[in-house]
Amino acid sequence: MISCSDLHGFRGLFLDFIGDPFDDFEANCTRFFADGLLVVESGKIKDFGEYRILKKQYPELEITAYPNQLMIPGLIDLHVHYPQTEMVAAYGEQLLEWLNKYTFPTEARFKHQAHAQIMADFFLDELLRHGTTTALVLTTVFPESVDAFFEAADRRHLRMIAGKVMMDRNAPKELLDTASTSYEQSHQLIQKWHDYHRLAYAVTPRFAITSTPEQLVLAGRLLQEYPGIYLQTHLSENLKEIQLTLELFPNNSDYLSIYEQFGLVQSRSVFAHGIHLSDGEFNRLSAAQSTIAFCPTSNLFLGSGLFKLHTSQSLNPSIAVGLGTDIGAGTSFSILQTIGEAYKVTHLQGQAFSGLQGLFLATLGGARALQLDDKIGNFQIGKEADFVVLDLQATPLLSLRTRQALEEKTLEAIADSLFALTMLGDDRMVQATYIMGKPALFATDLGSG
Ligand code: GUN
Ligand code: ZN
């Protein structure tokens, strides 16, 4: 018999992935339990399976029951700017004008650590309210804003990746670093935060337009000096952006080749958007095993274009793709809603994209892209117990829509409800978010709200 000292159980409907539904039949990739049991010990998954069978092994287990709720692994946001929270939904511009008019003035306020702390708390509360438990996060050029973010994430025991924006040209003076200060500051931040508890660091040149070649050389050097760290940046989002980029780098034949030239295209590199990539660029990203963050609400909001998900998946190997909200160009913190918009973007191109494929990208797919699938992404025994409880009856309309599925409780019926959830979904559907097996901590719990 197993001692129940630090054990806790969760009972209800469970859905997760053990394979890639872009490569195989959904039924082969999915695990669904209509009445499942998740056993957590010291923050990690100790056991997972059918309640009827598993419960016998844990006769004294304390159980939290969610009888009509769907538990899924914590959602992963592969591209989001925490300082842009307060300027979400700013009217009327495309990328370059939007950056100058709204983004840069907002980011300039983050040189004050007190402001950054308030915003980091607000941002993390929003992530957790929406069921997002891991994110790849851009901060600002100010190291204080990076410290504020990591400190807030660490207080909540979150698995988060972030980095200081490197930007030494083509932005307002107060937002510029230099090639050498950006290197030094990033270096110090890596020493302080990379691999500290559940945190990791991403070298973050904003995009080619705002970095000199000297700065990109040093970004590449950081990647070489610290093989475990990530690279995050923007790529091929907007036609005017691409034109200006190639004017600034006249010897390069395409956008990706600039990042390649500086050693920034590797398997821990995450490129946001990639909307206007050529076939050659797609092929090179596939060969480098880099990741694209598909950010549909942002791409629609800024009028940037439609990401060719089907092209990225048709290559051999397929390009790792995850979903990004890209707040504040994106318009929702909800990964459910982001899946819904990804559906519309693919549908407009005559391609299929199921709710299950969307949920895969937001869980195991995102974890694989970040090479964190040994720790998060599904309910595999030994992984960290970050998960989300979805209320399939959160609104009268959703309740009506999912009634039959909750009677049937089959994978097909729940998958259909999940799709409806992505169309109708937002934070109201997230009943609870668990971090390492415990209810997520919000700013008010930490005395900072
Ligand atoms: N390209 C460079 N910076 C940004 C940013 O802040 N948001 C988006 N969407 N694209 C960018
Ligand atoms: Zn972005």
CA distance 16 to 359: 9
Q: How confident is the model at residue 425 (pLDDT cuts 50, 70, 90)?
A: confident
Burial class of 112 by CB neighbour count within 10 A (0 to 12, 13 to 18, 19+): middle
- Alpha carbon nearest to ligand 1 atom 7, residue: 329
Tell me the CA–centroid distance for residue 30 and ligand 2, in Å.
31
Tell me the CA–centroid distance for residue 77 and ligand 2, in Å.
12
Of 449, 421, 96, the residue nearest 248 (C-alpha): 96
Q: Is the pLDDT of residue 163 over 50?
A: yes
Residue 124: predicted pLDDT: 98
Q: Is the pLDDT of residue 176 over 80?
A: yes
Residue 389 identity (one-letter amino acid) = V
In ligand 1, which atom is closest to the CA atom of 304? Answer: 9
In ligand 1, which atom is closest to the CA atom of 84? Answer: 6
> CB 254: neighbour CB atoms within 10 A?
18
Q: Is the pLDDT of residue 141 over 60?
A: yes
CA distance 143 to 160: 17
Tell me the CA–centroid distance for residue 104 and ligand 2, in Å.
13
User: Beta strand pairing status for 160-163 and 199-205?
Assistant: parallel
- Alpha carbon nearest to ligand 1 atom 3, residue: 206
Which residue's entry shows tokens 């050659």? 280
Share of the chain above pLDDT 70, in %: 99
Q: How confident is the model at residue 448 (pLDDT cuts 50, 70, 90)?
A: confident
Name the least confident of 42-46, 173-177, 375-379, 422-426: 422-426
DSSP 302: T
* Tokens found for residue 439: 């209810």
Q: What is the pLDDT averaged over residues 299-314?
A: 97
CA distance 378 to 14: 10
- 272-305 pLDDT, tens digit per residue, is 999 999 999 999 999 999 999 999 999 999 999 9
Q: What is the pLDDT averaged over residues 340-366?
A: 97
pTM of the model: 0.98
Query: Would you identify the CATH topology of the domain 7-73+380-439?
Result: Urease, subunit C; domain 1 (2.30.40)
Tell me the CA–centroid distance for residue 136 and ligand 2, in Å.
10
* Tokens found for residue 19: 């394979």
- 1-45 pLDDT, tens digit per residue, is 444 468 999 999 999 999 999 999 999 999 999 999 999 999 999
Any residues with Cβ below 6 Å from ligand 1, and which?
81, 95, 99, 103, 206-207, 234, 237, 298, 326, 329
Superfamily assignment of 75-333 in CATH? Answer: Metal-dependent hydrolases (3.20.20.140)
Task: Give the number of the ligand closest to the Cα of residue 237.
Answer: 1
Task: Give the domain ranges of the chain.
Answer: 7-73+380-439, 75-333
Residue 3: predicted pLDDT: 46
User: 75-333: same fold as 7-73+380-439?
Assistant: no
Mean pLDDT, all residues of the chain: 97
- 67-113 pLDDT, tens digit per residue, is 999 999 999 999 999 999 999 999 999 999 999 999 999 999 999 99
Tell me the CA–centroid distance for residue 39 and ligand 2, in Å.
37
SS3 288: helix
Tell me the CA–centroid distance for residue 207 and ligand 2, in Å.
9
- 212-222 pLDDT, tens digit per residue, is 999 999 999 99
Task: Give the number of the ligand closest to the Cα of residue 77.
Answer: 2
The residue to mutate among 77, 80, 81, having the most atoms of ligand 1 within 8 angstroms of its beta carbon, is 81
CA distance 128 to 401: 25
CA atoms within 13 A on the CB side of 152: 32
Residue 449: predicted pLDDT: 65
